Amino acid sequence: EVQLQQSGPELRRPGSSVKLSCKASGYSITDYLMHWVKHRPEHGLEWIGWIDPEDGETKYAQKFQSKATLTADTSSNTAYMQLSSLTSEDTATYFCARNGYYFDYWGQGVMVTVSS
């Protein structure tokens, strides 16, 4: 059974960074792109970018180019997203999601709260 297990909720100060994890099971992460999506109830869903874990290639939405860094560790079958220079605008739930086009499996989401 395919599962994407994300790390637990995070509380960070403004200006700091956070690294989120997404551990895949039931398949090899090198077989599919891994996407990351931001969700704020008042803003809906925003696509952040993808990583190809097989070769490390990444692509980002323009607004997240300097905010997010996507990496992957094939030995642990885990994808990561680091968010830097956090502000209150980064307070959201972040999902990882599998596949190249439409997203057939999603992680459960991780809440990131940025507050002083």
Partner 1 sequence: DIQMTQSPSLLSASVGDRVTLNCKASQNIYKNLAWYQQKLGEAPKLLIYNANSLQTGIPSRFSGSGSGTDFTLTISSLQPEDVATYFCQQYYSGSWTFGGGTKLELK
Q: Which residues bind partner 1 (CB under 8 A)?
A: 35, 44-47, 59, 61-62, 95, 97, 101-104, 106-109
Q: Closest approach of Cβ 22 to partner 1, in Å?
A: 12
Is there a contact between 30 and 104 (Cβ–Cβ < 8 Å)? no
Distance CA 62, CA 28 (A): 28
By C-beta, is 13 or 101 nearer to partner 1?
A: 101
By C-beta, is 80 or 94 nearer to partner 1?
A: 94
Q: Closest approach of Cβ 42 to partner 1, in Å?
A: 10
